[in-house]
A and B are shown apart, each in its own frame.
Chain A
Amino acid sequence: MNLTDVTDQLREQDPAANVAFDATGPTGRRLLAQARRRQYRTRRPTRRRQPARRRQLANGRLIPVLAGLATLVVASLLVLPSGSGPAIAGWTTQPDMLDGEERAEFDALCRSMVDTEDPEARSLGHLRMITDDSDLVIADRRGQITIGIYVEPDGRISVCDVRDDDEELPPSVGGFTAYGAPDGRPIPPEQEGTFEVVHEPGFRAGTGAAGLGVYGRLDPDIDTLRVQLDDGRTLDATIEGGHFMGWWPTRCTGHYASGNCSPALEAIEAIDADGNLVDRKVRDTNGPDLVPDPQARDATPPR
């Protein structure tokens, strides 16, 4: 048997002889989108605690906030049921700090989804509004999920989520969408000694399972923002360059935008470097906004 005979025999028994693959079809587009996302993959982020900041609150004056119940659809978040309530794998009450490289990775991943050909992303009906003018102003990582807020010069907000699939697979983009700031107005300039809720994203993650979040601006001198949930739990928001962001797992009856989610945001406390409560805003019983808590105002130490 010569070489030609051998190769002829092999050709006759080619396992892929009848295998069709359309690079421009749904499978091809999906694989191309996967490849595009994976190009930014390098390593699994390591967890770091956000270092405590020690700054003096310059001014205790508070302003009312507008908590627009804007909505956000982010798919494919890993939600695990638990006995005491909803849980997203690895979620923590303290955020993990992203270093510069991780932040750049996150940013690149989110931007790579713009104009994506990923049919899965498109099928989710997401608006994708991250543009060249958008700035990633803050990223909040808790366990397997990182949520990033992008702001455009006109105040429009885009939200991107990145999920770590498992120990082997690096982050993947679940999709993002965007809604404008309340009334479409620009994010107001930061004011001394205040914080302001700008956006409350919701995260659909299957039937009844979801995540809720809160994003806003604050005086850079505020040391800690503690988010209180109506089930008694609290979480510390990520604070970065005058922005804050935090999110938590929840379960909803109907759409998360309906407000029938538990746990939900109950209050946000601003704490100074000495651990003193300097501001507290609570959910307005007559509307979706957060309003100053009179009792907290009384409790605010004189400055």
Chain B
Amino acid sequence: VTGSHEAHDISVLFEAHAADLYRYAYRRCASEHDAEEVVAETFAVAWRRREDLPQGEPARLWLFGTARMVLHNTRRRLRRQQRLTERLRQRWTSDRGLNPGHRVVAQDRLQRALEALSANDREVLQLLAWEELSAAEIAVVLDISVPAVWKRLERARRRLTAQLEPERPEHPMNHRAAPSARTTAEDCR
């Protein structure tokens, strides 16, 4: 779908999609402030480029793609990986009212496993599970082909599953760096 002949009413778009974009950003930032910032910046871009915005459902995907780029810029600028990791961990284990126990351990493991994935693999899984986008929609957001989406999904699943396998006894050869020790600092992901 090409740009619209009639410019979008950004207010209408905002009403329809801002909540989804806010949650999209919140899932990756674990910060209300940062999520709000992403939403505001995303719609500022939409306003600037309203003549080029596609009509209908593709507009929603366009917004997701823009929010993703805004997040990318935020990552580069902020670089607060340690604080984010701690926030996320706290949120995952306490903010949601979870009690200590096996479930928390399982969630923590899943989170750690997710963090151990590459950014591309993690993003494709999150778009599928959290934003509930189809492979075709993910392809639009990430600007890649549908087969590439499936390929990444399969790879992400395989790696995540491997990460979630029962931990083997500690051995120097099995040592894996903790996610927080990654050298590439990110704030929102």
On A, residues with C-beta under 8 Å from B are 1-3, 6-11, 13-16, 18-19, 21-24, 27-28, 31-32, 34-39, 41, 117, 168
CB proximity of B100 to chain A, nearest CB, Å: 16
Q: Is the CB of B157 within 8 A of A1?
A: yes
Interface centre among A15, A22, A28 (most CB of B within 10 A): A15
Chain B's closest residue to A27 (CB) is B36
Q: Is the CB of A14 within 8 A of B47?
A: no
Q: Is the CB of B47 within 8 A of A15?
A: no
Q: In the complex, what distance in Å separates the CA atom of A6 from the CA atom of B160?
A: 8
Q: Is the CB of A32 within 8 A of B43?
A: yes
* Shortest 9 CB-CB contacts between residues of A and residues of B: A38-B44, A35-B43, A10-B129, A39-B47, A16-B23, A23-B18, A7-B129, A34-B40, A21-B22
In the complex, which of the residues B15, B26, B40, B157 contacts A3, with contact meaning CB atoms closer than 8 Å? B157
CB proximity of B16 to chain A, nearest CB, Å: 8
27 contacts between A and B (CB under 8 A): A6-B156, A7-B129, A8-B129, A10-B110, A11-B130, A15-B27, A16-B24, A16-B27, A18-B96, A19-B26, A21-B18, A22-B19, A23-B14, A23-B19, A27-B36, A31-B18, A32-B10, A32-B43, A34-B44, A35-B14, A35-B39, A35-B40, A35-B44, A36-B10, A36-B44, A39-B48, A168-B77
Q: In the complex, what distance in Å separates the CA atom of A3 from the CA atom of B48?
A: 38
Q: Mark B6-23, 1 if CB is under 8 A from A, else 0.
A: 000011001110110011
Contact A6:B125 (CB < 8 A) given known A15-B27, A31-B43, A34-B44: yes
B143 contacts A by Cβ under 8 Å: no
Known: A10-B129, A36-B47, A39-B48. 16 other contacts (CB 8 A): A6-B157, A10-B110, A11-B129, A15-B30, A15-B92, A21-B22, A22-B19, A23-B18, A24-B15, A32-B14, A35-B41, A35-B42, A36-B10, A36-B44, A38-B47, A117-B11
In the complex, which of the residues A11, A15, A39 contacts B91, with contact meaning CB atoms closer than 8 Å? A15
Interfacial chain A residues near B96, Cβ < 8 Å: 18
On B, residues with C-beta under 8 Å from A are 10-11, 14-16, 18-19, 22-24, 26-27, 30, 36, 39-44, 46-48, 77, 88, 91-92, 96, 107, 110-111, 114, 125-126, 128-130, 153-154, 156-157, 160-161, 164
Chain B's closest residue to A168 (CB) is B77
Interfacial chain A residues near B88, Cβ < 8 Å: 15
Interfacial chain B residues near A21, Cβ < 8 Å: 18-19, 22-23
Chain B's closest residue to A14 (CB) is B130
Interfacial chain A residues near B153, Cβ < 8 Å: 3
Q: In the complex, what distance in Å separates the CA atom of A243 from the CA atom of B168?
A: 79
Q: In the complex, what distance in Å separates the CA atom of A8 from the CA atom of B77?
A: 33
Q: Is the CB of A16 within 8 A of B47?
A: no
Q: Is the CB of A23 within 8 A of B15?
A: yes
Chain A's closest residue to B47 (CB) is A39
Q: In the complex, what distance in Å separates the CA atom of A124 from the CA atom of B88?
A: 37
Chain B's closest residue to A2 (CB) is B157
